[in-house]
């Protein structure tokens, strides 16, 4: 899966893509990350990417020309890719969206807005707009990382050998909390691991897990 990120701050992704499962996924050839610096598509000698809003208002908006040029470049690299726009105005991003994006296996192009937003006309180049929660962030980079993380971990071969993606909670957008888990030591500062987990009786353990919030 090719994952292309359009951002004014591509360096924000370096550590995230170079760590743990996201890094392993690229090492194993399951995903390929490419960063597209929106500044490279800026206009004029100052590579302008933003401008004041028509009708007035605070702050600056991303201009359509650089964004659309960057999207079209990304599309030329991967014509079947799905174009995603993180925005507080989007539909709430859920586990079922992550599952669908992972199952579709199309590449992803993720636009990371900055400043006070973007010219609405760019949405003509966007397939899906997602809000990752009821709060406002300073840009689309953190939402993009969340989307990438949630999709990549579901791709076959990323979480090696484990069934953890199948048994975990939030499987179908329900809000049931994952069962509590413990590791050694069996007693820590007076707090004991439940006996049922120590006796090796798998049916009982399963029952306990299903019944423990």
Query: What does the binding site for ligand ADE look like in residue numbers (CB under 6 A)?
Result: 86-88, 131-133, 135-137, 140, 143
Closest residue to ligand ADE, based on beta-carbon distance: 86
The number of beta carbons lying within 10 Å of the beta carbon of residue 124 is 8
Q: From the CB of 38, what's the least distance to ligand ADE, in Å?
A: 15
Q: Which residues pair with 129 in a beta bridge?
A: 85
Q: From the CB of 87, what's the least distance to ligand ADE, in Å?
A: 5
- Check if the beta carbon of residue 130 is closer than 8 Å to that of residue 91: yes
- Check if the beta carbon of residue 178 is closer than 8 Å to that of residue 172: no
Task: Please tell me the total number of residues recorded for the chain in this structure.
Answer: 213
CA 129 to chain centre: 13
Select 3 or 158, whichever has its Cβ closest to ligand ADE.
3
Select 66 or 140, whichever has its Cβ closest to ligand ADE.
140
Select 78 or 141, whichever has its Cβ closest to ligand ADE.
141
Select 97 or 158, whichever has its Cβ closest to ligand ADE.
97
Q: From the CB of 174, what's the least distance to ligand ADE, in Å?
A: 22
Q: What is the dihedral of CA 3, 122, 9, 136, to 10 degrees?
A: -100
Q: From the CB of 58, what's the least distance to ligand ADE, in Å?
A: 15
- Rounded CA-CA distance 40/158 in Å is 32
């Amino acid at each position: 899966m090719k994952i292309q990120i359009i951002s004014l701050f591509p360096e924000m992704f370096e550590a995230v893509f170079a760590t743990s499962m996201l890094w392993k996924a690229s090492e194993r050839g399951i995903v390929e990350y490419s960063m597209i610096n929106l500044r490279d598509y800026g206009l004029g000698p100052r590579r302008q990417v933003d401008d004041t809003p028509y009708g007035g208002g605070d702050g600056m908006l991303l201009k359509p020309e650089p964004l659309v040029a960057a999207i079209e470049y990304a599309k030329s690299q991967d014509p079947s890719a799905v174009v995603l726009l993180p925005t507080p105005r989007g539909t709430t991003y859920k586990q079922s969206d992550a599952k669908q994006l992972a199952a579709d296996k199309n590449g992803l192009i993720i636009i990371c807005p900055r400043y006070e937003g973007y010219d609405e006309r760019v949405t003509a180049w966007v397939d899906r707009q997602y809000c990752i929660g009821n709060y406002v962030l300073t840009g689309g980079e953190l939402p993009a990382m969340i989307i990438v993380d949630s999709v990549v971990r579901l791709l076959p071969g990323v979480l090696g050998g484990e069934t953890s993606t199948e048994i975990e909670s939030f499987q179908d957008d329900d809000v049931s909390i994952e069962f509590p888990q413990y590791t050694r030591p069996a007693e820590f500062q007076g707090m004991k691991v439940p006996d049922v987990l120590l006796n090796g009786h798998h049916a009982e353990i399963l029952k306990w897990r299903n019944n423990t919030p």
